[in-house]
Chains A and B, each alone.
Chain A
Amino acid sequence: MGLATREAYGEILKELGEKYENIVVLDADLSKSTKTAVFAKAFPQRFFNVGIAEQNLMGVGAGLAAGGKIPFVSTFAMFAAGRAFEQIRNSICYPKLNVKIAATHAGLTVGEDGASHQAIEDISLMRSIPNMTVIVPADAEETRKAITFAAEYDGPVYIRLGRMAVPDLFTADYTFEHGKAVQLADGKDVTIIATGIMVGAAKEAAKQLQDAGISARVVNIHTIKPIDKEAIIKAAADTGAIVTCEEHSIIGGLGSAVAEVLVENSPVPMERVGVCDTFGESGIPSALLKKYHLTAEDIAAAAKKVISRKK
């Protein structure tokens, strides 16, 4: 098992802090959980705890960016994208200010805290705002590269990070290309498009399908916005069927973003694996993923179903 993406965030943020003097970090009383505490320890004079006040977190971030700083602001995804949505929209994205929102504890795998803390709407909310870039890293290495990209890119970025440890998928030589999908396996019968912690499950599903004689392409879409239209259109042309997987509501997230591209360009049968318009609940992450149908087995079943819908 590798690191949780939030752990990788804490590490790389400290490294970037050494490289870029203009990076400042804000947190809303969750620095030990979001891992911004690592940066805080190294650069106490550039770390500001705003307390349990997420609206102000975003507003101060906007002001710091207007003053020439590169603020990374962190809290749980629920309170960033949810509670402070309108501050993100009006104070950060409308003036296209250079604020990086690194939101941790996204999705059901927050686990025991339950539905009140399980953000399954954040991708949907964030990608609907003009000027916003939305990135969902799949493992520790991709997180390091995505955070580095965010630090060097001029404009608002929302980065969705998770609480639980996830398997390493990429090695140190991995190159992160903004807005470019990453093909992890090729196949001809179906394409599985996954994001975040579901990328590992998608790879596992492809193996299971292979055993059943089905050849599946696996594509990791780390940048949900701007989305890699070309890779999606090519997947539709080459394999004729698509399955999307995300630890997020099937409404408005990766599945919706992919569907939007497909219907306007090359409609093919598609199935969405995600949280089916319901709240989560308390439980250990593995139990939640099983109960809410976010496992490799669920993805493989969706793949078989979508293949059966091909004409």
Chain B
Amino acid sequence: MTAPLLEVQDLVVHYPGGGLFRRGAPVCAVNGVSFSVARGETLALVGESGSGKSSLARTILRLQAKQGGTVRFGGTDLFALRGRALRAERRRLQIVFQDPASSLNPRMRIGDAVAEGLAIHALAPRAEWPARVAALLGEVGLDPALAARWPHELSGGQKQRVAIARALAVEPALVVLDEAVSALDVSVQAQVLTLLTTLQQRRGLAYLFIAHDLAVVAQVAHRVAVLYAGRVVEEGPVGSILTAPRHPYTQALLAAVPAPDPSAPPPRLLLQGDPPDPSALPPGCPLWPRCPHPARDAHCQAERPALRPVGPTHAACHHAGPAA
């Protein structure tokens, strides 16, 4: 087994508290998260708002500072790099955001937007750009003639394909997809998911697929890490996480998804209330105040459970058993 492509260890991201003179409690967005992504693999990071998934993504790309832990990409410590070396590594690590309308420059033609990365990283002589752009647009299923168009002339699905083409232009090894299909209509979403799978197979891409929609995750992920209150509470192969989850939060999350089937049992309400405020996390297990597990006890309130192997997954729960 070769070294993982992306290795995140004990990552901590805190934001200063709000209020005058920043005297409020700090917002603890990411509280010691570890995971790895192998070449050609898709790891899905799943969580609700405030779980820290977008902070994680931004930190991995070094778009913001961390307070602890390490991020290694291809064996290199990303936070030790500066200047030219950092830029070179960033080429191998791209991101596609949720809203393509705001991530594309409205004053840049589609072709120029796709060629921008080629220019920044000096990957091809200018004369070759039009042919490269045409090939990239073709690869994401767009008509190469769209290169002459402006972003506002394209549909949401087309714009998201352009954002993917932009990411691919610099030949990355890993693409972070931050809710990349969440804003798309369901029929367009299905097409983009198929495209992502095809591109992964053709180019050997690894994806860090950040999503809140478990049904979408089921289609693309190899492994899933479930985040709650800035921590991984369960991690494992997609089949095990979605059909036999061991952590009570993962179980509640799955039970809350309404099935598009009138004969299916109605969703069960296992969690009450809202996820905790990241500036006032409860001591012990972060799920403790809402936990539906029948064995929940004082131990949960006192001591934070660590991730440990439970059956085919790893779960951070004192009471998770092999037979869920």
Do A and B actually bind?
A: no
Q: Which residues of B line the A interface, CB within 8 A? A: none
